[in-house]
């Protein structure tokens, strides 16, 4: 893990196209601004984990049924 210190208004570049800027600091809360291409999905980690869990749940019922249909052919 890379650990960097930044002050309000300072930025971090990730590759050539992603910029993370510290917009404000209020106590223990930091507000970040992220500029990234539309092709890059940006989510809070708890949202990302929820999306992964929903995708896994959606696939859990589809794959066995699909495999059963293949065996019948």
Residues 55 and 73 in one domain: yes
22: three-class secondary structure by DSSP: strand
pLDDT for 63 equals: 58
> Average pLDDT of 44-66?
81
Termini Cα distance of the chain: 50
Q: Over 60: is that where the pLDDT of 73 sits?
A: no
Note down the domain range covering 71: 43-73
Q: Which of 26, 24, 28 is nearest to 7 (CA)?
A: 24
**pTM, full prediction:** 0.69
Question: pLDDT tens across 3-54, in order?
Answer: 999 999 999 999 999 999 999 999 999 999 999 999 999 999 999 999 998 8
Beta-sheet strands, E only, within 1-73:
11-14, 18-26, 29-35
Residues 33 and 6 in one domain: yes
Residues 23 and 10 in one domain: yes
Residues 32 and 5 in one domain: yes
Residues 30 and 56 in one domain: no
Residues 4 and 24 in one domain: yes
What is d(CA 30, CA 50) in angstroms, rounded to the nearest whole number? 23
pLDDT for 58 equals: 80
Residues 35 and 50 in one domain: no
């Amino acid at each position: 893990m890379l650990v960097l210190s930044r002050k309000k208004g300072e930025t971090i570049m990730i590759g050539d196209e992603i910029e993370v800027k510290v917009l404000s600091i209020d106590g223990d809360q930091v507000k970040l601004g992220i500029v990234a291409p539309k092709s890059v999905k940006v989510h809070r980690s708890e949202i990302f984990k929820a999306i992964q869990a929903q995708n896994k749940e959606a696939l859990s019922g589809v794959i066995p049924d699909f495999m059963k249909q293949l065996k019948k052919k």
